[in-house]
Amino acid sequence: MKRVQFSSPTLPYLFLLPQLAVIFIFFYWPSAQAIQSSFYLEDPFGFGSSFVGLSNYTDAIFNPEYLKIARFTVIFTVLVTFFSLSLGLLLAVKADAVIRGNSTYKTLLISVYAIAPPVAGLIGMMFFDQHIGPFVTMAATFGWDMKVGINYFDTAFAMVVVAVWKQVPYNFIFFLSGLQGVPVSVREAAAIDCRSGIRRFWTVILPLLAPTAFFLLIINITYALFDTFGIIDVMVKDKAANNPITLVYKVYMDGFRGNDIGGSSAQSVILMLVVFVLTIIQFRFIERRVHYN
């Protein structure tokens, strides 16, 4: 919390109003309806519905397949978050250090973020194509008979690589802007205080980056959980079969593709509750270590 703050009876509400209005109309209103649907089995066109209480929830939770998907989701999220954050940070630190060619690197690294998702997915898929993928050929020289789409592990590997590839530039941009925000005087002082670059990074620069890093941690977790279903859809060629999928992809399959409004709403509520609890824990335990000043 800031030591000094303004106090005004109306101004903060005035500033919050536009954001809150948009959120209430376009998020809470529809979400409330989605939550309501989770207690019903409903004809998608709206002609019939039966109140089923919590059975949409129990149907999901007590299904062994659902739990298997949940397990994969956890592993996938941890891997994607870890690798995209660390690669993004590494590149940002290096780009920050380099003076010559600085803007070229930046432009190159950032521009990858701009590639259209359907095509990014297509490129990823083609790289891992079991017949003609360059990545598969490369793996074969190491004796790895990679079969994306058939072998569970290989498919999971390909998904993680593509998901990380798409997210690194995002983290790069924010880490870099965070680094560039570190005042010159601090850098100079740090350079005098500790000569070792690595030590200087851990003791001076990283704590300064912590607010950004915490933001990115949360955002990357939600990315891995929620925003990767497009990538998964392309990688499994819209046939999940016995390939690994995440919980959100399951919601997408059941709700969007299968028109099971009640069941998919219940699944999203479960997911939302779990992530919400997780986030609160992160704010409690990790944010305490983040020093904002």
Partner 1 sequence: MLKKISLAAMAVGFSATSSFAATNITWWHGMGGRNGEVINEVAQKFNAAQSACSLTPVSKGTYEEALAAGIAAFRSSEQPNILQVFDAGAATIINAKGAVIPAEDLINQAGYTFNRDDFIDGVRYFYADADGKFVGMPFNSSAPIMYINDEALKKAGVEAPKTWEEFEAIAPKLKEAGFVPLVQSQLTWEFTENFFSRNNIQFASNNNGYDSVVDTKLNVTDPNLIMMFDKLKAWADEGYFGYYGAGWSDNQKVFEENKAALWIGSSGSFGGLSKTAQMPFSATFLPYWNSIEGAGTNSFIGGAALFAMSGKPAEENKCVADFFQFLTSPEIQKFYHQATGYVAITKAAYELAKKEGYYEEKPAAEVGIKQLLLKGGEWSKGYRLGFYPQIREIMEREYGRIFSGETTVKDAFDTIEKEGNDLLARFAKTAG
Partner 2 sequence: MHKTKLSDHLVLIAGALFLILPVVVAFTTSTHEAAEIHRSGLMLSPGGHFVDTYEKVLTKQGGFTGQVTGARMLMNSLILGIGFAIGKIVLSMLAAYAIVYFRFRFATLAFWVIFTTLLLPLEVRIMPSFEVMTRLGLLNTYSGLIVPLLASATGTFYFRQFFKSVPDELLEAARIDGAGPFKFFIDVLVPLSKTMIAAIFIIMFVYGWNQYLWPMLMTSDEHFFTLMRGIKQILQVWIGSQIPEYNEAFALAVLAMLPPVLIVVVFQSWFIKGLTESDK
Among residue numbers 118 through 147, which ones bind partner 2 (CB under 8 A)? Answer: 118-120, 122-124, 126-127, 129, 132-134
Count other C-beta atoms under 10 Å from residue 125's C-beta.
19
218 counts as binding partner 1 under rule CB under 8 A: no
88 counts as binding partner 1 under rule CB under 8 A: no
Per rule CB under 8 A, count of chain residues that contact partner 1: 38
Phi-psi region of 45 (alpha: psi -120 to 50; beta: other; left: phi over 0): alpha
Report residue 236: phi and psi, to 5°.
-95, 5
Q: Which is nearer to partner 1, 144 or 152 (CB)?
A: 152
- Specify which residues 51 forms β-bridges with: 40
Q: Which stretch binds partner 2 (CB under 8 A): 63-71, 75-83, 148-156, 245-253?
A: 245-253
* Among positions 3, 100, 195, 239, the unique one binding partner 1 when judged by CB under 8 A: 239
- Virtual torsion, Cα 166, 167, 172, 177, nearest 10 deg: 120
61 counts as binding partner 2 under rule CB under 8 A: no
252 counts as binding partner 2 under rule CB under 8 A: yes
Which residue in 220, 244, 228 sits closest to 150, CA to CA? 244
Using CB under 8 A as the binding rule, the residues of this chain from 171 to 230 that contact partner 2 are 173-174, 176-177, 180-181, 183-185, 187-188, 191, 197, 208, 211-212, 214-215, 218-219, 222, 226-227, 229
Q: Which stretch binds partner 1 (CB under 8 A): 82-90, 150-158, 197-205, 209-217?
A: 150-158
SS3 279: helix
User: Rounded CA gap, 125 and 55, in Å?
Assistant: 38
